[in-house]
Structure 1
Amino acid sequence: MKRRQEDFANLVNEVDIIMLDIEGTTTSISFVKEELFPYVRQEISNYLKETWDTQLTKDDVAALTRQVSEDARAGVEPLPTSHSPEVLIPALVATVAAMMDADSKVPALKALQGHMWHRAYLNGAITGHVYNDVVEALQQWKKAGKRLVVYSSGSVQAQKLLFSHSCHGDLLHYFSDHFDTSVGAKVEAGSYRTILQALHSPPPEKVLFITDLVKGELGGVTNLTFIVC
């Protein structure tokens, strides 16, 4: 264990940018699976009813409607053409549940989830989980002059909500940049090229990505350094 800790410290010393995954890395997988996602399933009907006339929800409903019509893989029937909330809300609830069952990562679903979580964080219904040792590491890395960024399958909005409303208080200030799957999947080399470009093209070997992805999924995708935790 001591040797592994020394190796990790040496890797950190050699890089300029540390990029963190979230689920299974900074944050317990159980928080995502047992709190965030169940909250959406349990509260979506009430949320839609309470926010139906807001522009934000109108935009979310329009995006979901387009997604269902474009993607047969959503696994649901087409949404009703009726604009009545009494008719459309139950159909939307079923649509979202089917997308979540399929582990869909489409932007329309991510946006709605993010808006629901935003409300939940603000009213205290949810508090973001972050491991104790992550907070200590963020403090040390920032003090050492490292640039800290996030790359997660969760939307940028969801990332910022989690860190700004964490169980350790507001941690958002530690991070300079956030990336989600809008840049591509974490197993695709092109995703990392896009991120490096957004970070003003640092040498790949100067970037360390800490993630819970298995090594086989990451093998050969880029020249970045990976730590699988």
Structure 2
Amino acid sequence: MSWIVLDIEGTTSSTESVHRGLYSYARPRLGPWIDTHRDDPEVAAAVREIGGGTTEESVAILHAWMDGDVKATPLKTLQGQIWAAGFAGGELTAHFFPDVPPALRGWRERGRRLAVFSSGAVSSQRPWFAHSAEGDLSALVERYFDTVNAGPKREPASYERIAAALDAPPGELLFLSDVPAELDAAAAAGWRVIGVRRPGEPSEQARFGAHFVVASFEEIA
């Protein structure tokens, strides 16, 4: 096993910290961010993709996507920029389960390479790891993947793309996630997988089928 690829929400970090922390932070800032960053090519492209006319109309669409948990690229782009600014300004701190930081450090010390595959934009993944309550963990992670540069998390082809990008045989890749359908997709692409069932998380009652399941990273050799 050469690479360990991590999901974030429900796996390394609590769902509540993402939904109530990050989402609630970004929601009221979407409109002002669009208005003050119209010259930013990424913001301009996101607004075009949203398809709204005025800022108010664009924000209404963005809020509807947030309410429906729609993984829309323009939304993730804008959220990622807002979160990055929040982390840089010291207004946001990332949450990690207590077992995660020591496990990441231990895996790196033993020669394992670490990557992330999350539905959140890469632009938000990096600051998430860089601004944890346990310090800067970003130096431990070499590669970041999202649904834009890899593809949907429930499709085997996405994991094939990641394997190619990491230049590693699928059998040398281990994916950790709290979502059974994501594990199914990675396994179908030839990856090794482990389910993560965190107490109090939405996945606590999930059916992982034949996949090996842990409640803590401490259980993973």
In the superposition, the TM-score normalised over structure 1's length comes to 0.78
Q: More deviation in 157-166 or 97-106?
A: 97-106
**Which residue of 106, 110, 113 corresponds with 1:144?**
110
Note the residue ranges of structure 1 that are not aligned, 5 or more in a row: 1-14, 69-78, 81-87
In the superposition, the TM-score normalised over structure 2's length comes to 0.81
CA–CA distance in 1 between the matches of 2:110 and 2:101?
14
Change (3 A) 1:134 1:32: same
The answer to whether the 8 Å contact 1:28/1:129 transfers is: yes
**Which residue of 11, 19, 22 corresponds with 2:5?**
19
Determine whether 1:67 maps to 2:59. no
CA–CA distance in 2 between the matches of 1:115 and 1:191?
24
Instruction: Report the secondary structure of 1:19's partner residue.
Output: strand
Which residue pairs with 1:96 in the alignment? 62
Determine whether 1:198 maps to 2:165. yes
The answer to whether the 8 Å contact 2:154/2:182 transfers is: no
CA–CA distance in 1 between the matches of 2:161 and 2:31?
37
Identity %: 36
CA–CA distance in 2 between the matches of 1:108 and 1:177?
22
Please give the root-mean-square deviation of Cα atoms over the aligned residues, in Å. 1.9
Question: What letter is aligned with 1:208?
Answer: L
Which residue pairs with 1:39 in the alignment? 25
CA–CA distance in 1 between the matches of 2:192 and 2:20?
31
Instruction: Report the secondary structure of 2:99's partner residue.
Output: helix
Higher Cα radius of gyration? 1
Note the residue ranges of structure 2 that are not aligned, 5 or more in a row: 197-221
Change (3 A) 1:174 1:40: same
What's the CA shift for 1:31? 0.6
**Runs of at least 4 residues off by over 3 Å:** 45-49
Which structure dedicates a bigger proportion of its chain to helix?
1
Instruction: Tell me the number of residue pairs that the alignment of Structure 1 and Structure 2 aligns.
Output: 194
Question: What letter is aligned with 2:33?
Answer: Y
The answer to whether the 8 Å contact 2:119/2:146 transfers is: yes
The answer to whether the 8 Å contact 1:18/1:210 transfers is: yes
CA–CA distance in 2 between the matches of 1:62 and 1:203?
36
CA–CA distance in 1 between the matches of 2:171 and 2:44?
43
What's the CA shift for 1:61? 3.9
Determine whether 1:211 maps to 2:194. no
Q: Whose relative contact order is higher, 1 or 2, with alpha carbons under 8 Å and at least 6 apart? A: 1
Instruction: Report the secondary structure of 2:79's partner residue.
Output: helix
